[in-house]
Structure 1
Amino acid sequence: MAQKVLIKGNEAIGEAAIMAGCRHFFGYPITPQNEVAEYISKRMPQVGGCFLQAESELAAINMVYGAAGAGARVMTSSSSPGISLMQEGISYIAASELPCLIVNVMRGGPGLGGIQPSQADYFQATKGGGHGDYRLVVLAPSTIQEMIDLIVEGFDIADQYRNPVMILADGMLGQMMEPVVLEPKKRIERQLPAKDWATTGCDGSRPRNVINSLFMIPEQLEQRNLVLIDKYKRIEQNEVQYQSIDIEGADAVLVAYGTMARIARTVAKKAKELGISVGILRPITLWPFPYDAVAAIGDIPNVKAVFSIEMSAGQMVEDVKLGISGKKPVYFYGRTGGMIPSPNEVLDYICDVLEVR
C-alpha cells in the first residue's frame, strides 16, 4: 500500500533505489550527498543487500563495474569532485555495456568549490566527462517525488540498453524535504532483456562470458564503437522526456531543469501579474536532449525570446541554441559557485530584455 511521508531528498534517493530492486551500493562520502550513503547503510542490510563504503571514489566506481558485470542492480552516488574521480571507470562501464545507476548531487565548483547547490556539471554529465565516444542517459528531476520515480525508471532504462544512467540533482534537491508517495508511478512497461551476458559462472554449461573494453585491433574497436553509436541513436529516438508549460502564445519561454525549473514556475507566475506571458520548457532527459521540443518554440509567432536559466556560467544554453537554430534570440541568466538566482532577479532580467515593466 502506498505511503505518503515527509522525506529528505538524499534519503529518498536511497529508498527509491531499494524500491527499484537495487541490492548493491558502493560509494564514498562527500557533501552534500552524504545522507544517501548513510540511509542506504541502514536499509541495505534490512533487505539482504550489500552496502560498502569504499576507500575512494575510484574504488567505488570499479566495485560498481564488477557488480554490474555480474548482473546485479547496482548504484553509486557522489557529488561533483567525486564524480570527476569516477570518470575513467564510468567510461569503462559504458564501453563494456553494463547497466548501473549513478547519482550526482551537484555542488559549487570548479575545484573543491563549496557545498552549496549548483548545476555546473551539465557538460560533464551530457557530453561525456571521461574519455572516448560514449554517452550516459541523464535524468534531471525537479521534485523529490520525481526523483524517486526517475530513479526507479532509470534502473529499467539502464537494463534495457545495457548502459549507465545518471540522475543529475543538486544540493538543494538533496537537502530539502517534501511529502512523497513511496510507490513508483505507473512506469513504461519495458521488456527488459535477460542478463545472459553476465559473468555469473557456468560450470561448462554454456560458453564463458567475458566483459572487456580493451580491443587492440583497430577494426574491432571501431566495430564496438559502431555498436554503441547505434544504441545511442535508439536511445535518442525512444527516451526523450520533457515538460511543456504554457508555451503556446507566450511572450518568452524559459528553459530550465531541476531546481531552476522550480524557480522558473515562480518567475512565470510573477510575470503574469505584470501582463507578461511566460512559458516553460523543462528538459527531464538532459541526454538525450529534447532538441525537437526546443526547435518547435522557434516556430511560435508570439515568442520574442528564449531564456536558458541555470545555476552555472552557461552550459545548457549551448544545447538550447542548437535546438532553436537561430529562429529566436536566446539569452542566458545564471549564478555560479552555489548561488541560487531569485525569481525577482530572473524576472528583472527578462523585463530588461523584453523592454517591458
Structure 2
Amino acid sequence: MAEMMKGNIAIAEAAVRAGVRLYAGYPITPSSEIMEYLSWRLPEVGGAFVQAESELAGINMVYGGSSCGVRVLTASSGPGISLKQEGISVLSDEELPALVINVVRYGNGLGTLFSSQCDYLRETRGGGNGDYRCIVLCPSSIQEAVDMVSTAYELGEKYRVVVVMMTEGALGQMMEPVTLPEFQEPKRNYWGFDGKYSYKKIGIFDRDSKKEAVELNKKYAEIKANEQRWEEEGIEDADYVFVAYGVPGRSTLGAIRELRAEGHKVGLIRPITAWPFPEKAFEHINKNVKGIITVEANATGQLVDDAALFTKKVLRADIPVYALPFVYGVPPIREIKAKFAQILAGEIKEVY
C-alpha cells in the first residue's frame, strides 16, 4: 500500500529493507535526512550506524564494512561527495561494492543548497585517482529511487563495483506516494573477511597492474553491453529528440507531450543509467532527425557531451546537438517549450 514519504526517508527505508546493515557518513544538506533516519532505524534491525568525524572517515568505514562482506551505504552531497573520492577509488581498486547516494546540490566549491545536476561529469568519469568506473543510476521519482536501491546492490555485487545513485535536492526533499519493497534477509558476501582470508591486491608493489587492467576493461565492457537502462518516448519519428535524466527528465517528458499535441514531432530519451550511458537508445532514433537537445540543471552543459558523442557514434551523421542548461532547480515545462521555440528560430545555436 502506498504512503506519502519524503524522498530521502523513502530511500533510507528501502536500504534497510534491501539488507543494508552499516551506514557511515557525515551530515550535509540536502542529504541529511538519510543519515538522521538511519541513526535510529538501523539499530532497530541489528545494524550499525556511525556518524563519522568527516566524510573521509565515513567512506573508509564503508570500505571496511564492504571488505567484511556486508551491504553498506553512505550518502552526501556536493563537496561531501568530493571528499569521498579517494575512498571510492580504493573501493574500486579492491573491487568492493558499496552504494553511494549523491543528493546533488548546485555550485562550485562549497556550492549552494539548490537542487542541481552539476555533478554529472564527476560521477560518470570517476572522480578520484586511477582507472575505474562506477555504475551511476539516475531516478526521476521517489518510487523509482526506492526500487533502484535493491538493484544497486545486485549490480554492485554482481560486478564488484561501486554504484552511485545520483539523485537531486528536489527529489530528496519532495514527497510522493511510495510503495515500499519487502524485507530481504541480510547476507554476508563470499569475499568478506573471516580471520583467514586476505586481499591479494592490497599494496602497490607486488602487483601485476597490466594484467589487472585487462580484467577491469573486460568487466567494464560487460557492464556497458548488459546494463544500459533508459526510458524513451516518440523517438522513432521525431524531428528533435530531447535527452534529460532525473527530475528534469520528468518535466521534459511533460514538455514533449505538450509539443506533440501542438504538432511538433519531438521525442525523449531519459537515461536511467548515466554510466553506462544508454547509447543503444540512439539506435532507435529517426534517421532523419534534425537535432538532439539536452535539458540539464547545471550552468555549463555536461550531459550534452555524452549526447553528442553517441549521436556521432551511433547515427554517424552531422546532426546538431543543443544544450539547454537551466543552472539549478527543476526546469518548468513552459520554459523548456520556450527554449525549443528559440532553437527552431535559430536563436540558440548548437554546442556540437
For structure 2, the residue ranges without an aligned partner over 5 or more in a row are 347-352
Q: Is the 8 A contact 2:69 2:188 kept in 1?
A: no
Q: Partners of 1:346 and 1:318 in 2: how far apart?
A: 19
2:198 maps to 209
Any idea what the Cα deviations from partners look like across 1:184-241, whole Å, max 9, x if unmatched? 6xxxxxxxx9833321224xxxxx3226443325x61222222222111111111111
1:251 maps to 239
Shift of 1:179: 0.2
Secondary structure (helix, strand or coil) at the match of 2:208 reads helix
Is 2:336 aligned against 1:346? yes
Any idea what the Cα deviations from partners look like across 1:251-298, whole Å, max 9, x if unmatched? 21110000110110121132134321221101101100011212442x
Q: Is the 8 A contact 2:92 2:161 kept in 1?
A: yes
Identity %: 43
1:264 maps to 252
Q: Partners of 1:214 and 1:80 in 2: how far apart?
A: 30
Shift of 1:352: 2.0
Q: Is the 8 A contact 2:251 2:330 kept in 1?
A: no
Shift of 1:112: 0.8
Is 2:279 aligned against 1:291? yes
Q: Is the 8 A contact 1:198 1:209 kept in 2?
A: no
2:292 to 300, 303, 306: 306
For structure 1, the residue ranges without an aligned partner over 5 or more in a row are 185-192, 203-207
Q: Is the 8 A contact 1:294 1:320 kept in 2?
A: no
2:324 to 322, 327, 333: 333
Q: Is the 8 A contact 1:116 1:339 kept in 2?
A: yes
Q: Partners of 1:13 and 1:300 in 2: how far apart?
A: 39
Any idea what the Cα deviations from partners look like across 1:81-132, whole Å, max 9, x if unmatched? 1000000010000000001100000001111111110101001100010011
Secondary structure (helix, strand or coil) at the match of 1:67 reads helix
Q: Letter of the aligned partner of 2:72 in structure 1? A: V
Shift of 1:354: 2.1
Aligned residues: 339
Q: Letter of the aligned partner of 1:248 in structure 2? A: E
1:169 maps to 167
1:222 to 191, 195, 210: 210
Secondary structure (helix, strand or coil) at the match of 1:280 reads strand
Q: Partners of 2:33 and 2:201 in 1: how far apart?
A: 33
Q: Letter of the aligned partner of 2:74 in structure 1? A: T
2:349 maps to none
1:196 to 172, 180, 190: 190
Q: Is the 8 A contact 1:295 1:324 kept in 2?
A: no
Q: Is the 8 A contact 1:78 1:104 kept in 2?
A: yes
Q: Partners of 2:324 and 2:90 in 1: how far apart?
A: 35
User: Under a length normalisation based on structure 1, what TM-score does the superposition of the two structures give?
Assistant: 0.91
Q: Partners of 1:76 and 1:346 in 2: how far apart?
A: 34
2:307 maps to 320
Secondary structure (helix, strand or coil) at the match of 2:117 reads coil
Q: Partners of 2:53 and 2:216 in 1: how far apart?
A: 31
Q: Partners of 2:159 and 2:256 in 1: how far apart?
A: 37
Change (3 A) 1:251 1:14: same
Q: Partners of 1:253 and 1:344 in 2: how far apart?
A: 17
Change (3 A) 1:52 1:211: farther
Q: Partners of 2:19 and 2:200 in 1: how far apart?
A: 23
Secondary structure (helix, strand or coil) at the match of 2:29 reads coil
Secondary structure (helix, strand or coil) at the match of 1:178 reads strand
Q: Letter of the aligned partner of 2:69 in structure 1? A: G
2:268 maps to 280
Q: Letter of the aligned partner of 2:92 in structure 1? A: A
How large is the Cα RMSD of the aligned pairs? Answer: 2.0
Q: Letter of the aligned partner of 2:258 in structure 1? A: K
Q: Partners of 1:272 and 1:101 in 2: how far apart?
A: 38
2:350 maps to none
Q: Is the 8 A contact 1:295 1:323 kept in 2?
A: no
Q: Letter of the aligned partner of 1:310 in structure 2? A: E
Secondary structure (helix, strand or coil) at the match of 1:94 reads helix
